[in-house]
Amino acid sequence: MQRLRGRRRILGIGGLPGIALTAEDVRILAGPAEFRSTLLEQIAQARRRIVLAALYLQDDAAGREVLEALHAAKARHPGLQIAVFVDWHRAQRGLIGKAACTGNAALYTEMARRHGPGVPIRGVPVQTREWMGVMHLKGFVIDDCVLYSGASLNDVYLHRGDRYRLDRYHLISSRALADSMAALMTRVLGNSAAVSALDCESRQKTAALRPAIGRFRRQLATARYGAPATAGVGDLSITPLLGFGGRDNELNRAILQLVQRARRHLLLFTPYFNLPGPLRRAIEARIRQGCRVTIIVGDKTANDFYIPVDEAFTTIGALPYLYEANLRRFCKQHQDAVDRGLLDLYLWRHENHSYHLKGLLVDDDYALLTGSNLNPRAWRLDLENGLLIHDPQGRLASQHRAEVDRILQHCRRLDHHRSLESVASYPEPVQRILRRLARTRADRLLNQVL
């Protein structure tokens, strides 16, 4: 793993080291069901290593299925290296808005007790409090392949049941990429005293980890993926990027440079419409310069925090309405660009399913795969990563078009800001919360940590 000390030379997009690929090395999966089957197939075929990073691995049918598959793979091949990294805080609590419980760590302990050691699950504390930052790295390294998605591991992300949460899914065959991503997880995360076992009865207390967490954060601030520059001019290539903190954030810098270099078309996916200021201003500059911008966001009813009107309301249920209010203001501000076709805003909605897509497509030659929600929290607080694909010959263009076409099947174009519901039509509990936030100007503060 490459670490640079002192002032690091700031590289533009074109100067980043790229790992050479062929078009056959990249496969875009069609949806969450194929993502689940591919993950399980890859685990079953693994012979050398399985290193997984996700926000969480849930105590539900899909989470248990994945854990059982990992233990079965270890039993078949005792020399198989396995490591699972999830967020430390998220693993030790229940779902937001649900009853209190011991969290997913209880499942990990049960599995370890039943199957024995061999599938270590480590909790990564990016901060001492969850609201101050989480481990949001994504990527499953299995032998010489990387299965990359913004999805975590549970029933809805893996479509094990009636509902699914849509994300983006890429299977990339590249030993160099797999080595780079596995090295960062095992050497940086795995060797930190702050990163502790979750699959045991006597877990560390967060308070006891505070000094180690401080050292870990300083290490993350200088960490980078080590990527051999094997791609030549004109080659299809991929570069892993790390993002942490509000300063000298490699992933954030690449996102801004991607937007700024767009000339013909910029396509952005985000699940929560709450763009960081620098990203919003860069997008607005592209619109003014005549670049066509498309943003695909989930309808408020496709937000994972949405509470149907016939169910008991809790405060967290106001979030989708807050995001819709952000979108309404943005659309109103740029209504002329919407009318002229320079700005296309699409809302995704499919029955009772939810939307979790993230990333960028730029001028048919760059694509960013990322777990970052492209919001202020991801920009400043969470540990994020992404894979930057440079495709100057358009070898993956047909796969990208097919992916976008599948997504647009369940989208409607927002042709006017009045097409969105007004605050006056929201449920009364939501109206009260939004009025209180606006009166105290707390909505602006809230947007910075969501």
* Residue 146 per-residue DSSP state: E
Predicted pLDDT of residue 450: 59
CB-based contacts of 417: which residues, under 8 Å, 6+ apart?
Answer: 328, 329, 331, 332, 335
Host H or E run for residue 237:
strand 237-243
Predicted pLDDT of residue 438: 78
CATH architecture of the domain 237-448 equals: 2-Layer Sandwich (3.30)
Q: What is the pLDDT along the chain (450 residues), one digit of tens a residue?
A: 443 333 344 557 878 889 999 999 999 999 999 999 999 999 999 999 999 999 999 999 999 999 999 999 999 999 999 999 999 999 998 655 454 456 899 999 999 999 999 999 999 999 999 989 999 999 999 999 999 999 999 999 999 999 999 999 999 999 999 999 999 999 999 999 999 999 998 999 999 999 999 999 999 999 999 988 888 888 999 999 999 998 899 999 999 999 999 999 999 999 999 999 999 999 999 999 999 999 999 999 999 999 998 899 999 999 999 999 999 999 999 999 999 999 999 999 999 999 999 999 999 899 999 999 999 999 999 999 999 999 999 999 999 999 999 999 999 999 999 999 999 999 999 999 988 887 766 666 566 655
Host H or E run for residue 399:
helix 397-408
Cα 185 from Cα 314, distance rounded (Å): 37
Cα 150 from Cα 140, distance rounded (Å): 11
Q: Output phi, psi for 285, to 5 deg.
A: -65, -40
Q: Output phi, psi for 317, to 5 deg.
A: -70, -10
Helix (H, G, I), strand (E, B) or coil at 192: coil
Domain with CATH 3.30.870.10 in the chain: 20-222, 237-448
Does the 20-222 domain belong in CATH 3.30.497.10? no
By the 8 A CB rule, do 305 and 323 touch?
no
Predicted pLDDT of residue 201: 87
Q: Kindly give the pairing relationship between strand 139-142 and strand 121-124.
A: unpaired
By the 8 A CB rule, do 431 and 438 touch?
no
Q: Output phi, psi for 99, to 5 deg.
A: -65, 150
Predicted pLDDT of residue 345: 98
DSSP code per residue over 230-259: ---TT--EEEEEEE-SSSS-HHHHHHHHHH
CA 76 from chain centre, in angstroms, equals 32
Cα 257 from Cα 401, distance rounded (Å): 23
Instruction: Cite the active site residues.
Output: 136, 167, 356, 384
